[in-house]
Amino acid sequence: MGPHQTAVVRIGFAAAWLLFLLREFPHRHELYGPRGPWSWDMARRLIEDNHSFTVLMWSDSALWFEAVYAGAVLSSLLLLVGWRTRAMSVLFMVGVLSLQNRSVFMGDGGDNVIHLMALYLVLTRCGRAWSLDARRAARKPAPRVDHTGMALWTLLGFGLVAVVLFRDRSGEPWLMALLWLLWLAQGAWWLVCRFAPGEPRTLLDVLANLLHNATLAVIMAEVCLIYATAGWYKIQGSRWQDGTALYYPLQLDYFTPWPALSDILAGSGVVVMLITYGTVIVQVAFPFTLFNRRVKNVLLAVMMMEHAGIAVLLGLPFFSLAMIAADAVFLPTVFLLWLERRARTAGRRLRPGGGPRADKRPAPDAPDTRTLVG
């Protein structure tokens, strides 16, 4: 269910995290590295209490930090384009958890959403559409032996063994168990598809679909919970009740990248009141609109435009991109397929010698499940 919606979620969150890492690259040592105010020893003591997972606690070496940061950037890029999405989603999760749990006081609401979705994406089949995996499967039949997948699976296995033998024992043990389970499950998947492609392979495919659909339902529930709790908490605030809540962040230098625009907006009491009340109404009402497709689509467009306005007006682009990516799970399939057709048409026209001819390539189906790590 929802292969295109899941692909949009994958692309959106990978892009949000990748752009954040690239933007903060000059400041990475102050945010998550050895020169940060939240020192390595302070982070270690906190992690010993809350047992959160971060590979940055395995060593305080600057070289190790640079390797982890570069790995997070690379896994985000490869997940964005959909190369070996099963493996990249796991590495993406490890990168997100490692950096965010290293300095827990550096995040905001957008980081919390990325944190959660990084966990959920591991359990989805997010490479079934709009990915290099899907494109490879549509263009040519899968090889009898997937050498790239076998090499990647073996390399990740050696990494897990090295972690067990040499890593510090602090951290969350359940996540290490999950990583081993995912690695073993991928190997079992390849063995079944290679040597028992009949009913055993069909059974595994059904189980993978069930896990994907259940996780997709959890993502939808998570988005509804975010908006419902945000809306109902706002209702309890006096500034939201009197319609002036928007005025105050517009007076803070931190949230005014365009002071002239903020002054114009803050100078109109009617506009401030309408946006303040409208925000509360939209957030509280959204979970209930899921029972009506047309109303849901209208409200979804309003919320996406609201987040786009937050990105520009308040200077929170990564928070807004993360929330728009989360909202995308509710986008209608017809709209996403229309966007795909428009993108293909535009791409053909931009290519040398391109024109309005029909695209004769077959539609990208699901990637072939015989690949070891796809």
Q: What is the pLDDT of residue 74?
A: 97
| pLDDT for 85 beyond 90 | yes
pTM: 0.90
- Of the ranges 145-154, 206-215, 358-367, the best mean pLDDT one: 206-215
Q: pLDDT at position 79, please?
A: 97
Q: Sign of torsion, CA 267 269 242 236?
A: negative
The percentage of residues in the chain with a pLDDT greater than 70, rounded to a whole number, is 91
pLDDT band with cut points at 50, 70 and 90 for residue 143: low
Comparing CA positions, the residue from 339, 319, 310, 308 lying closest to residue 249 is 310
Contacts of 310 (CB under 8 A, 6+ apart): 316, 319, 320
Q: Which pLDDT belongs to residue 169?
A: 56
Predicted pLDDT of residue 208 = 93
Check pLDDT > 70 for residue 364: no
pLDDT at residue 358, rounded to an integer: 46
Q: Give me the helix-helix angle, 3-23 and 333-350, nearest 10°.
A: 60
- pLDDT band for 323, please (50, 70, 90 cuts): very high
Query: In the predicted model, what is the mean pLDDT of residues 50-63?
Result: 89
Q: Can you tell me the mean pLDDT for 15-42? A: 93
pLDDT band at 374, cuts 50/70/90? Answer: low
Q: How far apart are CA 45 and CA 51, in angstroms?
A: 10
CA distances from 153 to 158, 159, 185, 374 (A): 9, 10, 11, 10
What pLDDT does residue 369 have?
A: 43
pLDDT beyond 80 at 55: yes
Query: Cα–Cα distance between 128 and 344 in angstroms, integer?
Result: 18
Asked if the model's pLDDT at residue 247 lies above 50, the reply is: yes
